[in-house]
Each structure stands twice: as structure tokens, then as C-alpha cells.
Structure 1
């Protein structure tokens, strides 16, 4: 493999900041429902299920 030159990538994330902030706030709110002693695996699996079911419900409601 030959390196030709360094590559610089610039991303404008201004449009995504508000969405990212909303996502972080939602995750923080959901994390508060778990016991501090809950295992990381349990918390991640639970969050995955909750988010998946919420997504499926939103899609269902959008198509109705």
C-alpha cells in the first residue's frame, strides 16, 4: 500500500447538534430508571429493547 498524501475531512455538524443533544438527554433520562448496581450488560440490553420497541411503535403510528 502506498501513501499518497494526508487526507483532511471536515464535517459540518451544526444541523446534527440539536438532534444529538436530544438523543443524549433521552438516554440520560432512561438510564436514571436503572439501579446503580445493575450490570452494564443488563442496562444495554434493556435500552436496546426499549429503543427498538419505541422505534417500531413510531413507525407503526406513522403508517396508520
Structure 2
């Protein structure tokens, strides 16, 4: 299983957290998504056919910015 951790800006509340988790869950191969609101981080565990690029694209398309990771 692959692992991706990113710092993200724009996640301000539980609704944003749920929105992002739901979007990422739609990607085939994404196994676990953990969002830490206080730290502004997201940790994703995934297998193929999901890829780091498809996950990052989904984050951007959901309206959030990756600021590190």
C-alpha cells in the first residue's frame, strides 16, 4: 500500500473535511483517508489504480490547495 501525506490550505471545518474525504473515496484504489483539521494535513493510503497525481488532482478540483508534501 502506498502512502501520501500533504499539508493543505482551505480545510476550515468538518464540512470541508467530509467534502474532501468523499471526493477522495470516489477514486478507485484509495483505501484510507485521514484529515487532521488542526494540523491542516491529510494522509492517504492507496493502491493502484490510484496514483499520487490522481489524488493531488482530486484535492485541487475539490477546491483545496496543497502547500506541502
Shorter-chain TM band: 0.3 to 0.5
Please report the TM-score for the alignment, with normalisation by the length of structure 2. 0.32
Counting strand residues as a fraction of each chain, which structure ranks higher?
2
Whose Rg is larger? 1
Question: Taking CA–CA contacts closer than 8 Å with sequence separation of 6 or more, which of the two structures ends up with the larger relative contact order?
Answer: 2
Q: When the two structures are superposed, what TM-score results if normalisation uses the length of structure 1?
A: 0.34
